[in-house]
Amino acid sequence: MRDPEPTRTHRPRLTSGLSVRAKAVLAAAGTVAFAIALCMLALVLALQHNLRASADLDARNAAVAIKGQLGKTRAMPQRAYIVAAPGQVTIKDAAGRTVAPATPTDAASQESTGLSRLPTERTKPAEPTEPTEPVQAGQPYSVSVSPSTTSLDSATGLLLRQAAPAAAGLVLFVAGLTWLLVGRALRPVAAMRQEFTEITERDLHRRVPVPRAQDEIHRLARTMNATLDRLHRAMTRQRQFVADASHELRSPIAAVRAQLELVLARPSRTDWPAAVHKALRDTDRLQAVASDLLLLARLDAQEAPPKAAVDLGALAAEEVRRHPDALTMDRPTTDRPTMAGDHLTKAGDRTKAGDRTKAEGRTTAEGRTTAGGQERAAVVTGSRVQLSRLLTNLADNARRHTRTTVSITVAVHGSMVELAVDDDGPGIPESDRERVFERFTRLDDARARQDGGTGLGLAIANDIAHAHGGTLTVLTSPRGGARLLLRLPRAA
């Protein structure tokens, strides 16, 4: 048995509790401080390099001058200095022994050579050294002079003492300027946050302020307002849906209550079978509304329908067999895509169209389309229960508005399966062809509830069509009424 992997705990960052404003100030100040430090380091290194090169040059020149004077054979004036050396002077003879000029108190050496001790810039305490011998004029010597570091140290210290306060002041100035600028830039965000926190479900009409600057904050404000618009529309539709559902449920309940009260008031004069029949009819209507509301709630949850092969032609044939007096199956005229202006052939031309489609294509009793003798099943992928409910809703809607019969046509056009339901009723005006798919929508000619409609049939059909990746549109039927055209992707 494997041990469970330990969960990784993420340590909070040092800046996790800081605001955006503070983070920006720290980033700007840190960047400027780092840049100044690099510049100071480069400046100090360049200054030290130049001063060290100058000191080395002075030391070499002093060594050359001292060596030139030591090589003279004539005597120097008494207590005369050879040259002013910048640093410590070391003189060695040909044997490698260290020698030194005679001190001023050495009168004999002064009179013989005229050389005295070379002065240096620093007076150091006497250190134990190897024995030295007096300098003899005219003898070969090697002279070395150490470069002076006094000017190098002084210049470096002066530069650091003068530049450090200026650098600190610059960092503080940048931090303060960044604090002000970021605060000014984030001021619209604070206003948006204040407005957004005050928006509740009761005042979704309010919007966050949009800044004038065309920057990221401006786009963020517009995105938030667009989201609020969608939320407001969804909430408005939800409230309207709840109000309509309450009204639809209240009507049959009120009817049943009134009938029961009337029966109780006059029990001896009541036609009990008729009263029960009316109550059952209102109960059926109440049950239909409740079932439609439950189905709409499931569709609103956007649950993916089961992926099963469904023969749309077979479903249409079953629907026709359930209502043989009101529904008929028509054959498609051609095997081309059905557009908004396409219509079925008239009843008087069906015989000729049937003869023509023997070679081109026809719909069998089982709902299968044949083209040139090759069978093409109108099979789609989805839920058989939902698609059957869709077809039933379309057929019921057409039966309530038709004058004679309703015709159903199933055809396969390329990668799409089309199902058309035609009636010869009053039709649907173009201005209302989008509104009929809204919930609890009834047109003026169909406002009466005695026909059994709940106002949710086409809304449910439209939602089922979209859940299966298809479309449901309203067109004008060649029979004079309305055509409800369903287009679904054909199963592979």
* HEC profile of the chain: CCCCCCCCCCCCCCCCCCCHHHHHHHHHHHHHHHHHHHHHHHHHHHHHHHHHHHHHHHHHHHHHHHHHHHCCCCCCCCCECCCCCCCCEEEEECCCCEEECCCCCCHHHHHHHCECCCCCCCCCCCCCCCCCEECCCCCCEEEEECCCCHHHHHHHHHHHHHHHHHHHHHHHHHHHHHHHHHHHHCHHHHHHHHHHHCCCCCCCCCCCCCCCCCCHHHHHHHHHHHHHHHHHHHHHHHHHHHHHHHHHHHHHHHHHHHHHHHHHHCCCCCCHHHHHHHHHHHHHHHHHHHHHHHHHHHHHCCCCCCCEEEEHHHHHHHHHHHCCCCEEEECCCCCCCCCCCCCCCCHHHHHHHHHHHHHHCEECCCCCEEECCEEECCEEEECHHHHHHHHHHHHHHHHHHCCCCEEEEEEEECCEEEEEEECCCCCCCHHHCCHHHCCCCCCHHHCCHHHCCCCCHHHHHHHHHHHCCCEEEEEECCCCCEEEEEEEEECC
Q: For residue 87, what pLDDT is reported?
A: 64
List the 471-476 sheet strands across, edge first. Answer: 327-330, 406-413, 416-422, 482-489, 471-476
Tokens found for residue 8: 């990784």
Return d(Cα 412, Cα 418) in angstroms, integer. Answer: 6
Q: For residue 452, what pLDDT is reported?
A: 52
Please name which of 394, 275, 273, 238 lies closest in space to residue 323, comparing C-alpha atoms.
394
Tokens found for residue 479: 């029979």
C-beta of residue 101 within 8 angstroms of C-beta of residue 82: yes
Note the Cα 444 to chain centre separation in Å. 46
Return d(Cα 465, Cα 485) in angstroms, integer. Answer: 11
Q: For residue 7, what pLDDT is reported?
A: 55
Residues near 117 by beta carbon (within 8 Å), at least 6 away in sequence: 100, 101, 102, 103, 104
Residuewise pLDDT in 10s, the chain (492 residues): 455 555 555 555 656 678 888 888 999 999 999 999 999 889 888 888 888 888 888 888 887 877 777 766 454 544 444 556 666 777 777 777 777 654 444 433 444 433 444 444 444 444 444 455 566 656 677 777 778 777 778 888 888 888 888 888 999 999 999 999 988 888 888 888 888 888 888 888 888 888 888 888 889 999 999 999 998 888 887 887 788 778 778 877 888 888 888 888 888 887 888 888 888 888 887 888 788 888 877 777 777 777 889 999 999 999 999 888 888 888 664 444 444 344 333 333 433 334 433 333 334 444 444 444 444 688 999 989 899 999 999 998 898 888 888 999 999 988 899 999 999 988 888 888 888 888 877 765 444 455 556 678 888 899 999 989 999 999 999 888 899 999 999 987
Q: For residue 116, what pLDDT is reported?
A: 42
Return d(Cα 454, Cα 464) in angstroms, integer. Answer: 17
Q: For residue 111, what pLDDT is reported?
A: 41
Tokens found for residue 444: 């003026």
Q: For residue 132, what pLDDT is reported?
A: 53
Q: For residue 364, what pLDDT is reported?
A: 43
C-beta of residue 66 within 8 angstroms of C-beta of residue 85: yes
50 residue type, one letter = N
Q: Around Cβ 466, how many Cβ atoms within 10 Å?
A: 14
pTM, full prediction: 0.53
List the 98-100 sheet strands across, edge first. Answer: 133-134, 98-100, 89-93, 141-145
Measured at the CA of 32, the angle between CA 29 and CA 33, to 5 degrees, comes to 80
Q: For residue 225, what pLDDT is reported?
A: 92
